[in-house]
Chains A and B, each alone.
Chain A
Amino acid sequence: MTAPAPRLTADRGRCIGAGMCAMTAPDVFDQDPEEGLVLLLHTEPPAAHRAAARLAVGLCPSGALALHDGGGADDRPS
């Protein structure tokens, strides 16, 4: 049995537009050109981009990103 794909969420109210996610995982995150806040390109990142997505979630300075693993455990930076 394969675990369901991890699901990403982004809270644009918390986002400070530092660009860490767009820099770290450009296939998963972008910044909208007007406000500079996070845009999710995939809510369920394909396997090839999951490691980068996980790293980006860990680096997010404002705690705006979270990765909800299929198994139920959530990743959210402190």
Chain B
Amino acid sequence: MSESVHTVTALPTERRTDCPFDPPAELLDARRHGPISRCTHPGGKPGWLVTGYELVRSVLADPRFSSRKDLLNVVDFELPPAPPGEFLLMDDPEHSRYRKPLVGRFTVRRMRMLTERIEQITAECLDAMEAGGTSADLVTAFAKPIPTIVICELLGVPYEDRASFQEQIDAFMGGEVSDEELIAAYTATQEYLARLVAAKRAHPTDDVLSELTDSDLTDEELKGISLILLAAGFDTTANMLSLGTYALLRNPDQLAALRADPSLTDGAVEELLRYLSVAKTFHRTALEDVELGGQTIAAGTTIVLSYHTANRDPERFADPHALDLSRQAAGHLAFSHGIHQCLGQQLARVEMRVAFRALVDRFPALRLAVPAEEVVLRPESADIFGVKSLPVAWDAK
């Protein structure tokens, strides 16, 4: 059996430009051969690629697969363990020690209480767009500022620091700058967060970070937690908003349906999450030999899980490559599954529900301001998929 297993020699680096929302053809092809394939990691190490929904979900629920950074077996040098507080790349019990004190701050109820404030932030972005004329880059005018302001308020970044803070995180998340600039921005963000933690400990304000100073977490750990909230929460949401708008503009019947029926909004957000899966792949490493889909994953081997392809699995979702805002998309893996399932998902949902609704209501004639072929996509090598910019236009009032 293992003789005939499908092999993906190198993980794909490009998408088809005519179908930018679909996983690269090589991944869809792998799924057609079966839910698991052999692959080679970009660093040259052999591994496995899991593309089937059921198999991806089962790995995510299986404690024999680790998220630890120092166990990643993809390059031929050893990786350091995740820094204190960066629990996305840790296993239990370390992971849960960090996640536990945060959970109560991100509940469905607490995030819904932010709705009005997020509506206000969104309206301010839309007002500024309108005041500026009849066209704009949706990424810089809308998709980035909304999650940035929300995260700043959550962490209690003082108002006067926001502009420079936003510039820094933009530089280190955007992947558009030189290595030196990237390191400088990353270091500056680290230093800023260290100062912020110290300030919150000395003078607590009304925000999540201040609340967390009232726990056994050290300043170093709080800095790591802030960094991960920022890194996990900003780029993902921003790209969902911009790529999601692009997907709606390329599917005018779906956009019209959403505009006509506000009760579609919550379901539309779930379907856009499934369809786009901007956090497209994650890694896990086998802690022992594990039988998976008829193959043996040897202890120490790192596997790639394609959440995007899993969310397009025809055995789980009928007509999976169609964007259908009225479908039951629950159960998608866009926020993962298992103990690392997104901590910020209820916040992200409120942001997306509010922002998409307000955008389609404000601009009834929203359209692309350039031909679709000219919309520049991020490279497939970026951790989070999306558009680099999205020129849009609307009619004057």
Contacts and interface: CB of A to CB of B under 8 A. Distances in A.
Contact of B108 (A19, A59, A77, A78): A19
Given A18-B345, A24-B330, A78-B57, A61 B339 contact: yes
A38 B67 CA distance: 24
B202 interface: no
A37 interface: yes
Given A23-B108, A62-B338, A62-B339, A35 B103 contact: yes
A61 B109 contact: no
B337 interface: yes
A16 B97 CA distance: 11
Given A19-B346, A36-B106, A78 B58 contact: yes
Contacts of B345: 18-19
B339 A16 contact: yes
A16 B109 contact: no
Contact of A18 (B61, B109, B330, B341): B341
B330 A55 contact: yes
Contact of A36 (B96, B103, B331, B335): B103
Interface in A1-51: 16-20, 22-24, 26, 30-37
B342 interface: yes
A32 B346 CA distance: 15
Contacts of B61: 61, 63, 77-78
A32 B103 CA distance: 10
A76 B331 CA distance: 15
Interface in B85-132: 96, 99-100, 103-110
Contacts of A59: 330-331
B104 A16 contact: no
The A contact surface, by secondary structure, is: loop
Contacts of B58: 78
Contacts of B343: 18
A36 B104 contact: yes
Contacts of B108: 19, 22-23, 26, 31
Contacts of B107: 17, 19, 22, 31, 33, 36
Contact of B338 (A23, A24, A35, A61): A61
A19 B110 CA distance: 11
A58 B104 CA distance: 22
A17 B338 contact: no
Nearest to B61: A78
Interface string A55-78: 100110111000000000000011
Interface of A: 16-20, 22-24, 26, 30-37, 55, 58-59, 61-63, 77-78
29 contacts: A16-B103, A16-B341, A17-B104, A18-B335, A18-B342, A18-B343, A18-B345, A20-B341, A22-B109, A23-B108, A26-B108, A31-B104, A32-B104, A33-B109, A34-B104, A35-B100, A35-B103, A36-B104, A36-B105, A36-B107, A58-B331, A59-B330, A61-B60, A61-B336, A61-B338, A62-B338, A63-B61, A77-B61, A78-B57
Given A31-B107, A35-B103, 18 more contacts: A16-B96, A16-B341, A17-B99, A17-B104, A18-B335, A20-B341, A22-B108, A22-B109, A23-B349, A31-B108, A31-B109, A32-B104, A55-B330, A59-B330, A61-B338, A62-B338, A78-B57, A78-B61
Q: In the A-B complex, list the 8 residue pairs whose CB atoms are closest, starting with the nearest.
A: A17-B103, A36-B103, A36-B104, A61-B341, A19-B108, A31-B107, A22-B108, A18-B341
